């Protein structure tokens, strides 16, 4: 299930840490709509794997230090989930926030409209994809995080480990990941500020190949580490 949310911004300035605000909006929407559904995905103790991803788009915008100047004063939030029930719950939760101001740092956003988007059905083992939000590949060694972009030698191996973690909430066997491959076509490294960390990530177009069921799953839930925090969402081109 895939849909787009349209927001109006109160002014042109928004922090480059906007993902924190989107996560707060998702949590607030869920908690006010259904406390049990909120607890299903978020609590204070556990890092819960979630079956959804998102990507944010600002029209007519430019970076200015720690801010983004959005001349259009508008924002689009693309949501995608593999689980239909989760999609309905999130859709209804967001709908309850329509026309309500949600505070940002020195700004606010107001949800004005939501539109369901068509989903592509992947029917071949090789596809060309474009990332709508950066691909994050992460390993954790001795309680320290390490991040890898597409040109790193360990990129593919660590990505596969990340995907195996994602599959723990699915019915797909982890063995499907062994034959997965991703090759850059027009790619670039980027560094994203997320909370207090500077995260190395990848953007651009790639060739993604592997099991068809796995490709469909990743298309719907995002790929890689932090996929439910606004990373790893892609479209098939």
Instruction: Confirm if 116 and 2 have CB atoms less than 8 A apart.
Output: yes
Longest Cα separation, the chain = 49
How far from chain centre, in Å, is Cα 141? 24
Rounded to whole angstroms, what are the CA distances from 105 to 13, 102, 163?
9, 10, 33
pLDDT tens track for 117-166: 999 999 999 999 999 999 999 999 998 999 999 999 999 999 999 999 99
What's the pLDDT score for residue 4? 98
Neighbours of 237 (CB within 10 A): 9
Q: How many residues does the chain have?
A: 237
Number of helical H runs and strand E runs in the chain: 5, 14
Cα angle value 222/196/158 (rounded, 5°) = 40
pLDDT along the chain (237 residues), means of 10: 97 94 96 94 81 96 93 97 96 97 93 97 98 97 94 97 97 97 98 91 98 98 96 98
What's the pLDDT score for residue 46? 59
Task: For residue 153, list its beta bridge partners.
Answer: none
Instruction: Confirm if 19 and 194 have CB atoms less than 8 A apart.
Output: yes
What's the pLDDT score for residue 231? 98
User: What is the Rg, in whole angstroms, of the alpha carbon atoms belonging to the chain?
Assistant: 17
What's the pLDDT score for residue 196? 83
What's the pLDDT score for residue 45? 59
Cα–Cα distance between 13 and 19 in angstroms, integer?
A: 14
Q: Which domains does the chain have, with CATH numbers?
A: 2-117 (3.30.70.1890), 126-236 (3.30.70.1900)
Instruction: Confirm if 152 and 136 have CB atoms less than 8 A apart.
Output: no
């Amino acid at each position: 299930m895939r849909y787009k949310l349209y927001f109006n911004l109160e002014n042109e300035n928004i922090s480059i840490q906007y993902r924190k605000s989107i996560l707060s909006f998702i949590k607030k929407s869920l908690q006010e709509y259904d406390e049990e559904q909120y607890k299903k995905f978020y609590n204070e103790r556990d890092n819960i794997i979630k079956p959804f991803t998102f990507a944010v788009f600002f029209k007519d915008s430019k970076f200015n230090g720690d801010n983004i100047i959005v001349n259009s004063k508008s924002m689009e939030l693309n949501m995608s989930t593999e689980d239909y029930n989760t999609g309905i719950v999130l859709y209804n939760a967001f709908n309850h926030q329509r026309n309500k101001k949600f505070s940002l740092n020195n700004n606010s956003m107001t949800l004005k409209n939501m539109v369901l988007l068509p989903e592509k059905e992947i029917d071949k083992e090789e596809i060309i994809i474009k990332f709508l939000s950066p691909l994050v590949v992460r390993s954790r060694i001795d309680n320290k995080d390490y991040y890898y972009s597409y040109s790193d030698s360990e990129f593919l191996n660590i990505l596969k480990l990340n995907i195996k973690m994602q599959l723990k909430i699915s019915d797909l066997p982890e063995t499907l990941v062994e034959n997965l491959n991703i090759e850059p076509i027009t790619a670039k490294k980027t560094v994203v500020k997320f909370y207090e960390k500077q995260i190395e990530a990848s953007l651009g177009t790639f060739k993604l190949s592997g099991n068809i069921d796995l490709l469909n799953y990743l298309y719907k839930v995002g790929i890689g580490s932090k996929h439910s925090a606004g990373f790893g969402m892609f479209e098939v081109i």
